[in-house]
Structure 1
Amino acid sequence: MSKKAIVIGAGIAGLAAATRLIHKGYQVQVFEANSYPGGKLSEIEKKGYRFDAGPSLFTLPVQVEELFLLSGKNPSEHFQYIKLPVACHYFWEDGNQIKAWSDINRFADEVESKLGEPAENIRKALKSSAFIYEHLSPLFMHRSLHKLNTWTNKDALKSYLKIGKLGIFSTMNKANEKKFTHSKMVQLFNRYATYNGSNPYESPATLNIIPHLEFNIGAFFPKKGMHDITQSIYRLAQELGVNFIFNSKVDEILVENKKAIGVLVNGQKYLSDIIVNNMDMVNAYKSILKKQKQPKFLLNQPKSSSALIFYWGIKKKFPELDLHNILFSDNYKEEFEHIFHKKSIYHDPTIYINITSVYKPDDAPEGCMNWFTMINVPNNQGQDWDSMIQEARKQIIAKVNRILKTDIESMIEVEDLLDPRTIESRTSSANGALYGNSSNNMYSAFLRHANYSSDIKNLYFCGGSVHPGGGIPLCLLSAKIMTEMVKET
């Protein structure tokens, strides 16, 4: 008879964990507090516009495809995507624009022609990023940092010999200042710290691993939108026999004799052989594990940044805009000072605009665009968000108008909003932080919760708040790492 597994949360990692556990021989139940799967990776539909509500960048599609291959299915029959010719279009207030072409040589040549930054510096930086990925990804992305064999295998031993070149002892900003002559290139490459909600002036230069994913491997776009990542894995899990129970908030993880035995949902006990928590680790310990020993040191670590997102239906097309667009602040360091130390929103924020209708025209009415307009903001510490949001909206609109030479507010016919408070309430993310603990020190990778409990037997963890971190690829890898620890039935 198959053993039972319960997964708490149908976020992207929970979906992947459920799928993988089926292949381990488990009967799997997933309890989800919301009425839909996907967590942050959901969608909004409003008056003819469709918006991907959460993560908008797609890298390492192999991590999605692997779930279908594991199930003996052809991934392309269930999930399709394209490689982007332009990873991102960058804008500055002084009129400079750079297209980050997926063709590295074309990107390097554009940077040299427009900014005077030697093309060779770009190629060297991306070669360095590939080097970091080669030596660190086997350790930090594909294995548990909390198991001895991670540190004693041949991949680890090989990396120890290269430790001085991996950026562990420098900040991201200092490393980039040495690589580039132009401040705009330093800023562009510093931006990758925001991919896990961190500060490039404090986070380790190991985060320079991220450009490798976007340039050397590639940035991609699902043909049906980002939400199709959720939907395709959800459909796969259902086909494999996973039982999803929505609108069912778990009240407690039941523990007896230091062993997880089930969950309590609406006063009813559901027993299981293993429990997988995909809920934010901090909020899980504060709520469903509040009777258990608390890992106070991890719980008290500084949290990542959050986001303020305006979903705007724009009744005009802007041919100069791509899928991913960045309108940079003129003072990047001060912007991060506000986010992480002043816990406020800088008056000149960097604006990210994601427009899926560029590649998926039916996401907006004809002649229109769907703008996912986001700025990085502090996590929720009880600030006066209503007044902060009102002021930020004015600043965003003013900046868009200056750079694109337009009157954007007159074109907004649909508007929705997501802020740190609603991120926290909808996704159980502690303080509305998008990526759990921040990566603002050299030890940050070691300050994430393990993919298992060292105190409670048969309790496992996956998702963006635990190892190896936030973002779609890492969440999927967290499910893989966790499942590899589970014995087959």
Structure 2
Amino acid sequence: MGEFLEKSDARRPSIIVVGAGAGGVATAARLAAAGCKVTVVEKNDFSGGRCSLIHRQNYRFDQGPSLLLLPGLFHETFHDLGTSLEDEGVHIVKCEPNYTVHFHDDTAFKMSTDIATMKREIERFEGKEGFERYLGYLQESHRHYELSIIHVLKKNFYSYLSMVRPTFLQYLQTLHPFESVWGRTSMYFKTERLRRVFTFASMYMGMSPFDAPGTYSLLQYTELAEGIWYPIGGFHKVVEALVNIGSRFGVEYHYNSPIKEIQLSADGKRATGVTFQDPSRPPLSADLVICNADLTYAYNQLLPTTTYGKSLTKRETSCSSISFYWALDKQFPELTAHNIFLAEEYGESFDSIFKKHLIPDQPSFYINVPSRVDPTAAPEGCDSIVVLVPVGHLFDSKSDLHEGAQGKPGISQDWDAMVSTARDTILRTIEARLKISLGPHIIDEVVNTPPTWRDSFNLDRGAILGLSHSFFNVLSFRPKTKHPSIKDLYFVGASTHPGTGVPIVLAGAKLVTDQVLRHLGLHHQIPKFFSPEKKGGRNVSPLDVQQSSIVWQAFQVILALIMTYLLWTTFQRVY
């Protein structure tokens, strides 16, 4: 893998990547593989950002993501770098069932990639016709998935004109961006129960299913068609592998290195490097800077204040979370690897989160038990448990732990009180629905709240998933991968195009890499393993030749005859 570097020019473009999150380390590895000299500077003493681990005694917890979705985008990233997940020691296992969804009436629903399981589960509540409608739902969400991969995740949107590409516009209505996930799902499922089962995934983007564009049924589709996966050793294994690949290509990583600002040229028109918060450290210069820090934070804290930067603080953003990390001295097999507990007042719970920015009186919550699929996550006979409770984000970027709502009289964000309420509610809900008592077996606890998310990772308003994915926050409306006025400054991460979530950010890293290399005039030097695999190399059996339908074949024959006739008559007139 080092051959390309040995053949590259002596004067390699120097690039600084600010932030060692998934997008930052993936971009760094790609650029280094293409011959650039890359340095990554990271605020914390670990890589991955939210995609990192918490260790307590012999227990391990995923601080953020715990679901590996869209596995194809992970495999593509490693393939582009001339390797694979397996070769890098990343072993992913499939979780079955996907989830167990628990309702307030002591009923549970198992989500699975197994079609027989889904048939049985759906027919329990909606009968034979319900399963047929489910197949229709899969067909629509499949189209959402495939079209989004091709025309959104793998295409950059440089300006508003990018949205009028004919190849994109012809599919716009098919993607249902002007309808909600809830509205589209309700066309296929008749019971309130199944409508809830097939819409809660919108929370992956920190959005209410009543507001999220219908396109995002693709999230449920990838789970149902491709499954939910988990890397043995924790989700951070993926980031760790990308860091190791980058190191082999010569990337330098500087941890415990918070920066004060992105350094600009004298006229303020070009990024030239970074200055550190530690005044004893000299500035670091480079030909180009790529920022993987939270986008709103970067525009308002690392760059000169602009109207655009201020506008980002007013944009609709995702929710936050209260996350508990519990070490248990006992195993509870009643909990599967992934568990969803849905509130009885489903719609009202989303109003509390997204309109009042509080914790619902009866919150829905997610429980991950990594030790169920990975015994290394907890001591033998014990469980490590992560509980994520979606809550409202901070009212503004300067809100503190006990500050009330500025300009929102009568509403107060008392996080100590909300944490206490959340803990009690979770334990009572689990005991009522599963008839198990977790409380006496919790021997250690770590808690993340919106203020800690903000302080640990510089997340604007403590929003764990960055900017919202409402229609006017995606495509050409989403912040661009390149700064609009400062040259040699690019962005990668959750709040820039194409969006949030580790696999989506990895897709964004590929887009940014391509954009940067074109800008540097190095696109022709991309290593051969960046290129898509060429088809061929295998003898195709006649059994594998794709056949057109008889109707289509007849249409082609008729069309050929008409064209032949028109050409013949034209020939006669001319000659």
Tell me the TM-score range normalised by the shorter chain: over 0.9
Q: Is contact 2:99–2:337 with CA below 8 Å preserved after alignment?
A: yes
| Aligned amino acid, residue 119 of structure 1 | F
| Aligned amino acid, residue 323 of structure 2 | I
Distance 1:81 1:27 in 2: 31
- Which structure's relative contact order is higher, taking Cα pairs within 8 Å and 6+ residues apart? 1
Are residue 136 (structure 1) and residue 166 (structure 2) matched? no
Q: TM-score, normalised by structure 2?
A: 0.81
| Aligned amino acid, residue 53 of structure 1 | Q
Are residue 357 (structure 1) and residue 357 (structure 2) matched? no
Are residue 237 (structure 1) and residue 246 (structure 2) matched? yes
Q: Is contact 1:168–1:442 with CA below 8 Å preserved after alignment?
A: no
Q: Is contact 1:139–1:150 with CA below 8 Å preserved after alignment?
A: no
Matched length: 486
| Aligned amino acid, residue 141 of structure 2 | S
Q: Deviations over 1:301-344 (max 9, x none)?
A: 02110111111112222223221110111111101100011111
| Aligned amino acid, residue 341 of structure 1 | K
The one of 80, 96, 100 aligned to 2:111: 100
Q: Deviations over 1:93-139 (max 9, x none)?
A: 21211111112342133221255471112221121111112223222
Counterpart mapping for 1:379-398 below 5 A: 379-381=393-395, 382=399, 383-398=413-428
Distance 1:184 1:291 in 2: 48
Note closer, same or farther for the CA distance 1:66–1:185 as it changes in structure 2 (3 Å cut): same
Note closer, same or farther for the CA distance 1:297–1:108 as it changes in structure 2 (3 Å cut): farther
Counterpart mapping for 1:249-328 below 5 A: 249-256=258-265, 257=267, 258-265=269-276, 266-267=278-279, 268-291=282-305, 294-328=308-342
Are residue 455 (structure 1) and residue 459 (structure 2) matched? no
Structure 1 residue 414: Cα displacement:
1.5
Note closer, same or farther for the CA distance 1:201–1:463 as it changes in structure 2 (3 Å cut): same
Aligned to 1:40: 50
Structure 1 residue 447: Cα displacement:
3.4
Q: Is contact 2:369–2:384 with CA below 8 Å preserved after alignment?
A: yes
> Which structure 1 segments of 5+ residues have no match?
none
Q: Deviations over 1:183-241 (max 9, x none)?
A: 11111122121011011112211111211221222221112221211211112212221
Aligned to 2:454: 424
Distance 1:402 1:120 in 2: 34
| Aligned amino acid, residue 453 of structure 1 | H
Distance 2:157 2:346 in 1: 32
Q: Is contact 2:300–2:309 with CA below 8 Å preserved after alignment?
A: no
The one of 121, 124, 131 aligned to 1:113: 124
Are residue 8 (structure 1) and residue 18 (structure 2) matched? yes
| Aligned amino acid, residue 121 of structure 2 | E
Q: Deviations over 1:17-50 (max 9, x none)?
A: 1001112211000000101111001111112211
Q: Deviations over 1:409-436 (max 9, x none)?
A: 1111111111111111111110110111
Which secondary structure state, in structure 2, belongs to the residue aligned with residue 82 of structure 1?
strand
Q: Is contact 2:25–2:246 with CA below 8 Å preserved after alignment?
A: yes
Q: Tell me which moved more, 458-467 or 81-90.
A: 81-90
Structure 1 residue 85: Cα displacement:
2.9
Q: Deviations over 1:242-272 (max 9, x none)?
A: 1000111111111223111111123422111
| Aligned amino acid, residue 91 of structure 2 | Q
Which secondary structure state, in structure 2, belongs to the residue aligned with residue 287 of structure 1?
helix
Q: Is contact 1:88–1:101 with CA below 8 Å preserved after alignment?
A: yes
Q: Is contact 1:439–1:445 with CA below 8 Å preserved after alignment?
A: no
Over 6 Å off, 4+ runs: none
Counterpart mapping for 1:428-447 below 5 A: 428-441=458-471, 444-447=474-477
The one of 406, 409, 426 aligned to 2:439: 409
RMSD over equivalenced CA pairs, Å: 1.9
Counterpart mapping for 1:50-65 below 5 A: 50-65=60-75
Aligned to 1:192: 201
Distance 2:16 2:219 in 1: 33
Larger radius of gyration: 2
Aligned to 2:406: none
Q: Tell me which moved more, 334-343 or 294-303.
A: 294-303
Structure 1 residue 290: Cα displacement:
2.7
Distance 1:401 1:254 in 2: 54
The one of 337, 343, 355 aligned to 1:341: 355
Aligned to 1:160: 169
Which secondary structure state, in structure 2, belongs to the residue aligned with residue 50 of structure 1?
strand
Q: TM-score, normalised by structure 1?
A: 0.95
Q: Is contact 2:474–2:498 with CA below 8 Å preserved after alignment?
A: no
> Which structure 2 segments of 5+ residues have no match?
1-10, 400-412, 523-575
Distance 1:305 1:426 in 2: 17
Q: Is contact 1:169–1:442 with CA below 8 Å preserved after alignment?
A: no
Are residue 220 (structure 1) and residue 250 (structure 2) matched? no
Aligned to 1:73: 83
Aligned to 2:553: none
Are residue 470 (structure 1) and residue 479 (structure 2) matched? no
Q: Is contact 2:162–2:476 with CA below 8 Å preserved after alignment?
A: no
Distance 2:314 2:463 in 1: 13
Which secondary structure state, in structure 2, belongs to the residue aligned with residue 435 of structure 1?
coil
Distance 2:183 2:301 in 1: 40
The one of 6, 22, 30 aligned to 2:40: 30
Which secondary structure state, in structure 2, belongs to the residue aligned with residue 422 of structure 1?
helix
Distance 2:309 2:116 in 1: 47
Structure 1 residue 404: Cα displacement:
1.1
